[in-house]
Structure 1
Amino acid sequence: MTHLTKAERKTLNDAMEIINKRTAHRSSAMIYFSHYSAERAPSHDLTFWTPAGKQHSMISGDTFADKIETYIQACSREVYNEAIAKEERAKKLRAELAELTGEAA
């Protein structure tokens, strides 16, 4: 079958509405699906970045809903903080400058 049914489309669109409503501003996620051979079951994973800019990969959970819930919970724990974000960026820039100039950061 090459097309989604109306019910499948509605289910996916409803899921996206839930994800949009429940996830935090300044966060993002990518969904990965693999279905390569008959010997292995199809798999999926979620990689996400919280509002604090921290990346999370290889999320535990048996279902897609488990992984989305982990994403929502992490976003509520790791909120964006302007001062912390600036300091972390400054550290990265100092390290990059030290690498480019050969000097200690």
Structure 2
Amino acid sequence: ELDEAKQRLLFGFFETYLRLSEEEEAKLRNEVSQMETKEAKQVMELIVSYEQRGMEKGIQQGVKQGMKQGRQKGIEEGKLDVVKRMLAKGYDVDTIHELTGLPVEKIERVKG
């Protein structure tokens, strides 16, 4: 029987060292299915917990990356809006480039 300490040890091992392919995971599940019922149930609970934590970490990383990309896109769109306003006020391309840091080519495209 897996006591709590053994469960934590196994979970730590899975999380730290084990990156299973689909084939390896199938083998592990097959071996677990051949264990005694109570022990197999405990190991499967660890595997499921491991998978859930992995998914949660992936979601968190995805959200962070999405937020970062969204901020960058918002900043870029804000700069383009400023470029349009500056062009409408008669600023020249070089001055706009100097103030916004945008490439001259991009400013020229906005200018049309």
TM-score of the aligned structures, taking structure 1 as reference length: 0.24
* More helix as a share of residues: 2
* More strand as a share of residues: 1
Structure ID, larger Rg? 2
TM-score of the aligned structures, taking structure 2 as reference length: 0.23
